[in-house]
Structure 1
Amino acid sequence: MTTELHDAKSATRRRFLVRAAALGAAAPFGLAAGRGLALTRVAPPPFDPSAYPICRAAATGDAVPTGELKKVTFAWNAGAPCLLAVTVAKDKGFFAKHGLDVDLVNYAGSTDQLLETLATGKADAAVGMALRWLKPMEQGFDVKIVASLHGGCMRLLAPTDSGINTVADLKGKIIGVSDMNSPAKNFFPS
């Protein structure tokens, strides 16, 4: 390596290190200033579970039902972080509070496996991505669904220079999905 090239690389590296050190030293002051300039937040009103029927049903009474609990086998995917509420509900006694003795069965696979556990009687109930159940239900799979959605399992991404800035901009466009029964395919139809 020539001396000139070595000196140029050293100067660039040195310049980078000096700038990184300055940024690191200035960061705490920037955070402190940001807190000082932050707008005062208004606290949201307290949550009132009685405003929602499902919460009202879950919140009423502290008594555990008398008599024997109804045994229910519940299929779920232990690898899905968004289904953690199932084990929390069991551990906190929410199922027992409503007369259920729940046995959890981990299906740890695709929704097809989950639906098979229901169809073959290996499970009485199951939890999974509701949007994956649409096609099987259209084809006659007989289930009752209680569903909800949350942000996190589906993302819609577009390059910044694509001209797609809103969902309306997708009209007439093609989107990529993981499979033809994916929640994205059922949620983001074009």
Structure 2
Amino acid sequence: MIIEQTLEEEYKIAKKKSAKPMLWISMISMVMFFAGLTSAYVISMKRDDWVAFDLPSAFTVSTFLIVASSITLLLSQRFLKKENRNASLFLLIITFLLGIGFVWQQYVGFNQLKSVGLFFTGPESTVSTSFIIGITFMHVIHLIAGIIVLLIVIYNHFKYKYKSDDMLGFELGAIFWHFVDLLWIYLFFFFYFIR
């Protein structure tokens, strides 16, 4: 019995020590992926058929939504550390709703591009619109993964799995969400200034 408890405690300690480094490794691979895509974008700008255009206004709205979601998640984490579970949960749900709002605004942005004749594929598509829509869509996929992570964090919050001294799952979810937030800010300003 004592040996089983010791092994279980050692397993929990090892899991805690390896969780954050594994998350950082996956985020580094995502950075490399998007760096490759944006590098290809810059190289493709030299093509004769490159078309410059303004970003859809919905992308600006989505930027504000995702920044707000990072703020509410940060506040939620702080309230949880102070054992204010209700405020923490409320802000977690707001974060989730802001994330859904971000995805919706991305969809609206894709439709705004279509309404001015800019398409991802087909005879009317251009290299520049294909890049912007493709890269943005890849980010949306990562953000949907973040929304799933948020749902897991909310579920675990309901189950009282997080305490002020044991917040590993919450912290991992928050790190990933803030990473996706920063990634979008980078992409937004990249597309805004490099056309």
> How would you bin the TM-score normalised by the shorter chain?
under 0.3
Q: Name the structure with the higher helix share.
A: 2
Q: Name the structure with the higher strand share.
A: 1
Higher relative contact order by CA 8 Å / sep ≥ 6: 1 or 2?
A: 2
Find the structure with the greater CA-based Rg: 1
- The normalised TM-score by structure 2 is 0.23
